[in-house]
Every structure is written in C-alpha cells, then in structure tokens.
Structure 1
C-alpha cells in the first residue's frame, strides 16, 4: 500500500497495491502527548467531487474537500504541505480516476501540472540515479584496471620467484 502524507500531517491518502487499486483519503488526528494517530474520517477517491484551494493568489494552509455526502475543511501544517498534498492528490486522480475526475478550484496553476514539484522530484531522482550509475560504472572501470595491474604484478612476482629459484639452484651446486 502506498501512503501519501507524513507523520505530522492530519491527512493521509493511500493506494492499495492490489488490482483494481483502491484509493482512500483519511483524516487523522494526533492528540497531544500521544505518538498514535486516530482516524477521524475516511472517504474513497471516487467520493471526492471537489478540491477547493480557497485562494489561488496567496499561500495558506487551509483547503476544503467536498465528497458525495460531505463537506470537510482541512488545514495542513503549512502552505507548502498543502501544496504538496493537493499536487499529489491531483496527480493521483489523473492516474487512477480517468472516468470521474474531481474538480480542482481556487488551486494554484503550478500544482495542476507542468513544472510541478512531482516532476521536479522525479527529474531530480532520475538525475541522481544517472549520477549514481555513472559513478558505479567509473568505479567498475577503476576496479577492472586495479585487477589487471594486480594480475600483472602477480605474474611478475611469479617470474621473479622462478628466476630467483633457478639462480639459487645454480649457485648451490
């Protein structure tokens, strides 16, 4: 099961690994002095009708979700966390609900595609993988050269040992 959200957030979006995928949005609460979270409410992604970012012109942590039979006000820990959650929600809806997409209103355009933090994150992961792969290839080449040098040194030492043995035998007699 993939889970989107984090330990300090009041929201979790989960996708099962089974086919067909089942997506749910869960609102949780952590009480002061407790490390555990308590489930407050839960909806499936199919019940989600609208995501209201409240004000696309300013960064604020509040947003509203409208479901089939419910309206729920949400507040993220920060405006950045709200942006991340809305963006993941948008991406997930695009991927898993092709027939019934919820409406995103009053959300910043940057969250709905293009140069999103998801694409930026994916690009940075791809870049990191490419750099790691290149570093591994270079290390492999260096190890290969070291193995070749080691084999050459071993052959040279064996030849030296044979020559030394022959000399010792020759001068012994």
Structure 2
C-alpha cells in the first residue's frame, strides 16, 4: 500500500471523505538574517502533505464539500495527523509561480493565511494543481446548479404563500429596513460560490484534456519515485545486494500496465457518461411536466 492510500484509509475514510490527490511539500525557504547567537536550523522532524478531498456524508440532505487538508507524519511514527483544514470556498488564489515551465513551487492563498510550498517534484505539483482546478470547477458548477434549482422551486411553490403572509402581517412590524435586510440575506445565501483564481499556471493544467494530462503526470510521478528509490538503494548500506535494484525494463513494464489500465478505465467511463446524460435529460422532462401540472392545477 502506497502512502496516499494509507492517508486516505487512515485520515479521510473514517470521516466520510474521499481523497482526490495528495502532494508532499515543505515550506519555501525565505532569506532571513540569522542571529549569531542562534543555532542553525535543525533537520525537519516531520513530513507534510497537502490533500484535496470530497466530503461524502451518509445523510443525503447534508451538502457535499470540497476540502483542502494539511497532514503531517512525524519521524518515527507510522500514523498521520490532521493539522489544518479549509473549505474550498475559503481558497482565494492558487499561484503556480512559473507559467512557462514545470516547477515545484506554488502558493495557496486563503482568507486568513498564505502558504508558500515546494512540492517533492514538479510532476507532483502539476498533478495536484490540475486535479484541484477541475475539482473546483465541478464543485462550483454543481453548487450553482443546486442553488438555481432551489431558487426556482421556492419561486414557483412559495410565491403565493409569501404574498398571503405579507398581507396578513401587521404593517407596523414589517418596516422597510427589515424588509431590505431580509432581501439582502436571501440574496447572499443564494449567491453561487466564488471560484478560486488560478494564476501563473500552465495552460495545459487548466484545459479539458484531463485523461491525457493525468496519464502524463501520473507516469512522471511514478518514474520520479522509482528514481528516488533507486538512488536510496544505491546510497544505503547493502544497496548493491541482489533484489534491491530496479531495472528500467521493470519500470517500462509498470508504465505500460498503468497505461493499459487507464485506457480501459476511460472505455468504461464513456458508457457511464452517456447514461448519465440520458438520465439528466429524462429528469428534466419530468421536471417540466410537473411544472406544467402545477401551473394547470393552480389556476
């Protein structure tokens, strides 16, 4: 089991969440003038991960949430600790730093803080930004659509009752100021979520070619990890023993298996997408018919 599966199983699944992507990061070094009486910086005693997850509550009435979580794993411990968590609506900006080339640096700007990170590799950072961008797109579109449907139903079904209630109320109690406050609060609650701004990001990370881009960056991440493992085995004691070396043929075979599995997964997803579109069309027809019946019997 790799480290991402371990994080998902230990941290997110018990809280009815599903992790979409995780990236290993460390703080970007800032140039500071070190005091002569202070000792030099010690080696970091923990590993930090930034994860994107979707909250999937068992109760269907609760809304789904897109969350960004900071997780740490301390040296000598196999468990993961959740340190900070933000809703995607608190995310204001994602800064890719270098719009023309792959780089491991990126910034996350929230309402109350700014985090400057360096990923383990450029491929991991690009994969994280790519998945986060499309997750934000899907989340904002879905929430805006649900708000529009809820607003339409309230407008059709409750218009008559609201008018009758306003007529029966005491004029002295319903002042213009209170009416204006109620209108503003309703508009604010029904406003669609603001989508985070992605700046200085490569155009290939914010395009619709998700399958190809994901395949490329997942292969790069896998190759980087194999390379790091090979370097570690060569530099560690006993690294030259038999069975510890990773040959390029095994890497090529693994990449080929991953490519075949991803292509098969895409072939299975295509009929599911067509079926989803068909069901959405039928649901829209049913909604239109129900609306016509409601108007007919209201007269």
Please give the range of the TM-score, normalised by the shorter of the 2 chains: 0.5 to 0.7
Indicate if the aligned counterparts of 2:19 and 2:51 stay in contact, CA closer than 8 A.
yes
Give the corresponding residue for 2:18.
2
Q: How far apart, in 1, do the equivalents of 2:50 and 2:266 lie?
A: 28
Q: How far apart, in 2, do the equivalents of 1:116 and 1:126 lie?
A: 11
Q: How far apart, in 1, do the equivalents of 2:91 and 2:196 lie?
A: 6
Structure with higher strand content: 1
Provide, for residues 2-38 of structure 1, a one-character-per-residue CA deviation record: whole Å limited to 9, x for no partner: 2123485611111112341112101122222222222
Backbone CA RMSD of aligned residues: 2.5
Match of 1:58 among 92, 101, 121: 101
Structure with higher helix content: 2
Task: Tell whether 2:44 aligns with 1:31.
Answer: no
Secondary structure of the structure 2 residue equivalent to 1:74: strand
Q: How far apart, in 2, do the equivalents of 1:91 and 1:5 lie?
A: 12
Match of 2:196 among 98, 102, 113: 102
Distance 1:118 1:92, change over 3 A: farther
Secondary structure of the structure 2 residue equivalent to 1:35: coil
Distance 1:94 1:71, change over 3 A: same
Give the corresponding residue for 1:141.
none
Give the corresponding residue for 2:221.
none
Give the alignment's TM-score, normalised by structure 2: 0.39
Secondary structure of the structure 2 residue equivalent to 1:27: strand
Q: How far apart, in 2, do the equivalents of 1:72 and 1:8 lie?
A: 14
Q: How far apart, in 1, do the equivalents of 2:69 and 2:210 lie?
A: 24
Indicate if the aligned counterparts of 1:48 and 1:102 stay in contact, CA closer than 8 A.
yes
Give the corresponding residue for 1:88.
131
Unaligned runs of 5+ in 2: 1-16, 26-48, 142-191, 216-260, 270-299
Unaligned runs of 5+ in 1: 131-173
The offset of 1:58, in angstroms, is 2.3
Aligned residues: 129
Match of 1:12 among 51, 57, 76: 51
